[in-house]
A = this chain, B = another copy of it.
Amino acid sequence: MKIQAVKGTRDFYPPQMAVRNFIVDGWKTASIRNGFVEYDGPIFEHLQMYQIKSGEEIVEQLFNFEDRGGRHLAIRPEITPTLARMVNQQINALPRPIKWFSVPRLCRAERPQKGRLREFFQWNIDIIDVEDVLADAEVVYCSLDYLRSLGLTRNDVVAKISSRRLLAAVLKNIGIPEARLDTLYPILDKKPKIPAEAFVEMLEKEIDDSDTVGMIVKLMDVQSVDDIPDLVELNDEEQAALDELAQVFAYLKQMGVEEYCRFDMGIVRGLAYYTGMVFEIHDAAGELRAICGGGRYDNLLSDFGGPKVTATGMGMGDAVLEILLREKGLLTDESVPVQTLDYFVACLDADLFGKALKVTAALRQQGHSANLNYKTNALKKQMKAADAMNAAKCIIIGGELKESNQLVVKDMKTGEQELIDAMTFLK
């Protein structure tokens, strides 16, 4: 019976696993460096949790099922609802600030395409209960800090930053009623992905007045905060939103990443739940989907039955990131070896096999990684095996042990050999 993997899922053979570890370990290191602590939730949750955050449509994108207790469950498509649930449950006990990260495995029942898989890994960082936009700046900084540590420069990636608060204020200013905003956001979010005429057409379906549509088109092209006052006369709320956004940029400058960052009114994020700063990091060439995205969300915890607590965060998947790193030559099969070994133990004489086993065990107990060749075949074959495992050194057990109780230690890079007293390992 020949069995296949499920369509759209990935098998991680050792070479693919090494790449996944390279990415996930990098995420963890950057998180810890930036003072975040790790959490995780279950792989499945009550289906309802995802409906609350994303509406009824989300069910179509979920792997959902009923358990024997009749509960409607779903494999998690994202971890933010879990985060909200967990923080709510311990809201009074958790030490502040809540700076948490996670690297969950997530599943979405989507049609697989470039940079989008049905099963993937996503880095999440969130800062909860910090009003100051310093938390927003920290989230953007940490994302860039990770990408920079991989060798990506300002020529490779750009952080496009905007503000939902500012956008909402300006849209209301030009006459869009508050109640229409949530239907408008997903359309505005589509702008960079569709032709200009299609964008205008979509807007015209929602908005009768063509002047307003023209104004929105102009607004979405604004590339500098300073240009906004030229388009609309700012009221207090708009000015406050603008000042807040300027403060995010000031913090990012102080942290030394301003060259990666720019304002882009076109960054909207489709989801209704953002309320403040929003951002996406893209490849500079603009050829791929966003590498990551996030922003401030003020209502999620209260939507999940908790108190009104502010939060800001970011999610970065592994798929687009891997494509970009490979394109830039920053991730190659050589840069992430499947295996490295401190010692490979080669035994040339079947009589000495027990000693070889003893040496291998001694190396491991000293904390070295070690493999023993399972057969006492020709030295050349064993050296080939040692090379395949990227062994740094090879211990050769043969005549020298019988003659003078010594072992040959060969440096696999230089080829140099030295003799050591066998008692080092054979006590």
Contacts and interface: CB of A to CB of B under 8 A. Distances in A.
A134 B371 CA distance: 12
B46 A6 contact: yes
B63 A65 contact: yes
Given A358-B255, A374-B130, A3 B46 contact: yes
A64 to B, nearest CB: 7
B109 A251 contact: no
B358 A254 contact: yes
Interface in A7-53: 7, 9-14, 17-18, 20-21, 32-35, 37-46, 48-49, 52
Contact of A6 (B17, B73, B81): B73
Interface stretch (A162-170, A203-211, A361-369, A397-405): A361-369
A175 interface: no
A111 to B, nearest CB: 10
Contact of A11 (B2, B48, B69, B86): B86
A85 B364 contact: no
A140 to B, nearest CB: 12
Q: Which bucket holds chain A's interface residue count?
A: 35 or more
Contact of A365 (B3, B9, B81, B145): B145
A109 B338 CA distance: 34
A194 interface: no
A9 to B, nearest CB: 3
B3 A364 contact: no
A100 B11 CA distance: 14
B48 A3 contact: yes
Interface of A: 1-7, 9-14, 17-18, 20-21, 32-35, 37-46, 48-49, 52, 63-69, 71, 73, 75, 81-82, 85-86, 88-90, 95, 97, 99-100, 105, 107, 109, 119, 130, 132, 134-135, 141, 145, 251, 254-257, 303-305, 338-339, 341, 354, 357-358, 360-362, 364-365, 367-372, 374, 388-389
The 5 A-B residue pairs with the shortest CB-CB distance, nearest first, are A65-B65, A35-B371, A9-B42, A2-B305, A255-B361
